[in-house]
Structure 1
Amino acid sequence: MPLSNLKSTVRNAKRYADIAHVLLRYGFGDILASTGLNRFLKSNGDDKDPSSKTATPPEKNNISDLAELPRPVRMRRAMEELGPTFIKLGQILSTRGDLLDSQWIDELKKLQDECPPFPYNEVEAILKDEFGDQLFKIFKYISPQPLAAASVAQVHRATLANNTKVVIKVLRPNIREVLEADMSILETVAKMLEKHDHSLGFSPTEVVQEFAQEIHKEVNLTNEGRAADRLSKYFAENPNIFFPEIFWHATTRNILTMKEVHGLRLSQYKQGDLTKKQLQRVLANCADAVFQQCLEFGFFHADPHTGNIFVLDNQKVCFIDCGMVGQIDKRTAEQLGDLVSAVIDQNTEKVIRAVALLVDLDPDVADQRKFRSDVTEFIGHFRINEIAELNLGNLLGEFFDLLRRYNIKCPSDLVFLIKAMTTIEGVAEQLDPTFDLVGHVEPHLTKLIKQRISPTAIRHRIQRTISRYIDIIEDAPSDILGLLNHLRHNQFTINFELAKLEQLDNTIEHASRSTSQALIIAALLIASSMLILSDRIAQGTGYLLGFGVLGYILAFIMVSWLFVTTHFRKRK
């Protein structure tokens, strides 16, 4: 184990033990065994009753009841008990339809990001640390009663000095230290899983690295503020779509101050709050907002669920909590349009080309007869006459299923894009199943596809291609000159990367080391035998006999060591 990992393990031993006991209680002994976390089970001295360590509701401590629950349910409950880092990890994983099947995705979506609030005196201490003597010049009043408390931050109502009603989001005390410790543990566990469990179909270390990037963004509240500002500017001329105003003089990396939104939160909508016509107008505004962000602006709110949408007067909508946002370039949006167009045309070759451009598709997989057959079956589920009949949510869901079957990793920007679009489809389905979202979204998809095949777009692609060829021609003389210089100075090298080459190298190295050790052992045995024989012939004082016996002992030790190392290498 590297020294840095060893230090991390010692420093976080208690947290490792807590995680191990929670996983054991929820029936994940296989994970403990494959990651080595089972060695922490005795560290708390309560391995006889692991359920007694953590204070949890009685229903969670009933082992027989837990055994009856499906594995995804048990994992979701374990994550809720393990705290903010694991809750956030579960929420991120719930977006990864390319990694997990629908049973896991549906369960992880239920993760509740609600936690007990921390005391107001701690809130006040954080505010004073951030603003110092300016605190009471900025804020006229701050409500001591939290409006909401989540795993990373909690929210309070407040009033600015100019009487503007606002809400302030305050990061939890020491949350960065908690997250850093848990991230260190997750990285270690992911490496162990990757080393010992090859049946996952994805890289745990890559998932943890992506999660680390997202969580680091989330604990700097200025990122959320900038995202809200940017989205607000995109819709500045749209009277139906809003994002909260950010007050930057009252915002830091630990504090976010935004204008309070007054309206009906969609998660609290009850039958009769809006007429059917009003509700359909609300859903139309939500769909317009999300699909414009995703397909036109390339910068989008990645979590537009009902808890993050307010209905204002005249069925206008306001999106809050811009902590999770995604961004794609125009080329990726065009490639997604190519995929949709190819599915509508029922063109297998075009679909495979679009998939290859969108994701990291191995050419060997693309050439497989089985893969091509599965792609043909995939597009066969969407035999339609026009784009208005296309259910984009179903198409993207089956697209994820196809990627997962072949262990094809989907880029995180595309994952967030698909999550945003499918989430808003779920909102519409939940609130009004009769709302024709497919028909409403059709103009956005049509515009995307037409932009791709329009004369202007074709002209731009031709210009870009010609420009690239001109660059190649311009750079060719200097590239050739550089190549000749390398050849002249014998500095020209060719690097080959062969699969399993490192493993072959290790095997050869082990074989040569074993051969060397065997030769040394043989020499020791021969020399020791000659010394003992010489002592007997000369009837000497026993010195030669002693050296001979010592040689036998050394040979025995080396033989034992060679056996142990070879045995463990085979097990590995």
Structure 2
Amino acid sequence: MFPLTPKHLSRFREIARIFTEFGFGFILTYLKRPAALDKVEINEYRLIELAGNLREMLEKLGPTFIKLGQVLSTQRDLLPKPFQAELEKLQDRVTPVPFEVIASYIEKNLGSPLHDIFIEFDENPIASASIGQVYRAKLKNGKNVVVKVKRPGVDELIKTDLQILYQIASFIQNKTNWGKINKPLRMWEELKSSLERELDYTGEARNIENFRQNIKYKKLIIPEVFWNFTNENILVLEAVYGIKVSERFQLIEMGIDLDQLARDLVEIFILQILEDGYFHADPHPGNIAITPLGDIILYDFGMVGFLNPWLREILITLLISVVRKDFARISELLIELSQRQDIIPAEIKKDVREILNRYYFVPLSSLSLGELLKELLNLAQKHEIIIPPEIVLVAKTIIALEGIVKNLNSNLSVAELAEPLATNLLRKRIFKFPSFKKVALDLYNLVDKLFALPGMLESSLANLEKAKFTLKIEERQLERQVTSFAKSIQFLAIVIFYAAYFLGSPAILNALPADQKGKIFIFITVVYFTGGYILWKKHLL
């Protein structure tokens, strides 16, 4: 528990005042009587009114609460539907901090007067959010840049808010039935880690560099980072401008093929998720712009997702299974994700079948892949399957992507565009042979270990001989058993050595240049079998 200081109490009073102002004072009253929280009942009309008030209240309370709303928007079973709909509309726009304060803050962080770094600096921000503000500027070297500046004092405000929310979440989790079931402290942890990432601009800069080094999509543009003027509070990027992806009519006037743009967007994001395992996790319209040539610019890399190879394999298969409505395979994947021994497969299959039955006759063009994934995640929560947070982030990313694609072309869906991409990746992985270099290295390591095996065995046997066994075994009998055991191991090593050749030879043959394939393969075969013969003579004879 965090100790409450006068600073906390002052902020708590402010939060309580804003809660009351927007009609949520009754919640503070219920907190005095924890059991009553489980019996809150509100009529439908009042529910819709409060849902709108909730969004406005969170926006007024600032960055911590805006982010809290975004976290809650992904927990579909926690709040009624009107609240979910309003939380998805959350906007992070606030009145900008005066330029004089921002200029002083930049100079303090970079250790130089503004005019020593920039020859031009537009005093009017092009964006103003609760954590930072963005300005146009030009460096001394003539490069046009955008300067992202953290709002002074925002770190301390978020730290205080997080400590207050921890107190509230702990109280609810420990004192109410709702809290014991829904574990609000888990949401607090997610909120805390998300905000900590957004508050460190050097982390965002590293994300940008990683994406720039991994660019393999011809139509993707990632701005350059100017590291000399970047730290945890200031981020200076190459200025790359385009039309926001949400400005449909402007894109048409510019001559952009919206159908092709939708396909390009889906390919970029789906392959980032399924192939790279490293993806931009905040693709709302404000973070995507389009150039006159149809290239796609990504902004704001504060939120990115990472997927290990195992999770990528699970997601590829899950996506294909969802599109094909294969409830049995989806059930198996959820059970595999659970890694629990006490789970009942029949119950999972029944619930998955119920979900898919609702989508069975829905055409692929109308299927919301993100919503279906979220339903499956809720099902997992019902069965106490702990889903990795990376998968939840994937679902949120796909939902945001679906909104953009629908705005561009209502006849396309992410599901129908993503399925062939996933199928192709799966096919490539099944038929992918390792490179000759990898095969050669693996064979070298195998041979090295096999040559070392008899020595290791001899050493182990020597240690056994030194030990004083109390078992009454004839010395000659023990020696015969040891010798027989050693020869069996040596014979097994030779078998493995030759088996490795026969298993690896297709990959070796495939990796060789076509014009010299025969000669090189014969040479490798002779060398390999000669080595095997030497190994046999050295250790078996």
Same fold (TM over 0.5): yes
**Other-structure match for 1:221:** 201
Structure 1 residues 157-204: Cα deviation after superposition (integer angstroms, max 9, x where no partner): 100011111110000011100010001001111101101222254211
Alignment of 1:139-150 (within 5 A): 139-150=118-129
State the shift of 1:307 in Å: 1.1
* Matched-pair identity in %: 29
1:289 and 2:285 are equivalent in the alignment? no
Amino acid paired to 1:16: F
Distance change >3 Å, CA 181–CA 70, structure 1 → 2: same
1:430 and 2:430 are equivalent in the alignment? no
2: CA distance, partners of 1:34 / 1:389: 42
1:163 and 2:159 are equivalent in the alignment? no
**Other-structure match for 1:24:** 20
Out of 415, 418, 423, which is 1:446 matched to? 423
State the shift of 1:230 in Å: 1.3
State the shift of 1:29 in Å: 4.4
Distance change >3 Å, CA 397–CA 135, structure 1 → 2: same
State the shift of 1:320 in Å: 0.4
Amino acid paired to 1:216: E
State the shift of 1:140 in Å: 1.6
1:15 and 2:11 are equivalent in the alignment? yes
2: CA distance, partners of 1:300 / 1:438: 18
Residue ranges of structure 2 left out of the alignment (5+ in a row): 35-42, 450-455, 461-541
- Counterpart secondary structure, 2:124: strand
State the shift of 1:447 in Å: 2.4
1:125 and 2:104 are equivalent in the alignment? yes
Out of 373, 376, 381, which is 2:350 matched to? 373
Alignment of 1:81-120 (within 5 A): 81-97=60-76, 103-120=82-99
Contact 2:71-2:187 within 8 A present in 1 as well? no
Out of 174, 181, 194, which is 2:173 matched to? 194
State the shift of 1:451 in Å: 4.7
Amino acid paired to 1:238: Y
Contact 2:368-2:402 within 8 A present in 1 as well? no
Which stretch shows the higher mean deviation, 213-222 or 92-101? 92-101
Distance change >3 Å, CA 455–CA 297, structure 1 → 2: closer
- Counterpart secondary structure, 2:126: strand
Contact 1:247-1:258 within 8 A present in 2 as well? yes
State the shift of 1:77 in Å: 2.1
Alignment of 1:467-486 (within 5 A): none
2: CA distance, partners of 1:301 / 1:74: 31
Contact 1:227-1:325 within 8 A present in 2 as well? yes
Distance change >3 Å, CA 371–CA 185, structure 1 → 2: same
Distance change >3 Å, CA 70–CA 367, structure 1 → 2: farther
Structure 1 residues 45-68: Cα deviation after superposition (integer angstroms, max 9, x where no partner): xxxxxxxxxxxxxxxxxxx99947
- Counterpart secondary structure, 1:446: helix
1:328 and 2:289 are equivalent in the alignment? no
Contact 1:98-1:404 within 8 A present in 2 as well? no
Structure 1 residues 356-409: Cα deviation after superposition (integer angstroms, max 9, x where no partner): 333x47554x31754431122234455599999976335313313423544654
- Counterpart secondary structure, 2:18: helix
TM-score by length of 2: 0.71
TM-score by length of 1: 0.68
**Other-structure match for 1:256:** 235
Amino acid paired to 2:400: T
1: CA distance, partners of 2:82 / 2:363: 32
Which stretch shows the higher mean deviation, 343-352 or 243-252? 343-352
Which stretch shows the higher mean deviation, 80-89 or 176-185? 80-89
- Counterpart secondary structure, 1:300: strand
1:176 and 2:155 are equivalent in the alignment? yes
- Counterpart secondary structure, 1:339: helix
Out of 257, 278, 303, which is 2:282 matched to? 303
1:211 and 2:191 are equivalent in the alignment? yes
Alignment of 1:317-466 (within 5 A): 317-343=296-322, 348-358=327-337, 360=338, 363-364=341-342, 366-367=343-344, 370-381=347-358, 392-406=369-383, 408-451=385-428, 453-454=430-431
Q: CA RMSD in A?
A: 3.6
Residue ranges of structure 1 left out of the alignment (5+ in a row): 39-63, 479-572
Alignment of 1:232-271 (within 5 A): 232-235=212-215, 237-270=216-249
2: CA distance, partners of 1:256 / 1:156: 11
State the shift of 1:431 in Å: 2.5
Structure 1 residues 121-173: Cα deviation after superposition (integer angstroms, max 9, x where no partner): 11111111112237544322211111111000001110001111111000001
Structure 1 residues 12-44: Cα deviation after superposition (integer angstroms, max 9, x where no partner): 112111222322343434532454499xxxxxx
Alignment of 1:526-541 (within 5 A): none
2: CA distance, partners of 1:452 / 1:381: 32
Contact 1:334-1:452 within 8 A present in 2 as well? no
Amino acid paired to 2:237: M
Which stretch shows the higher mean deviation, 349-358 or 332-341? 349-358
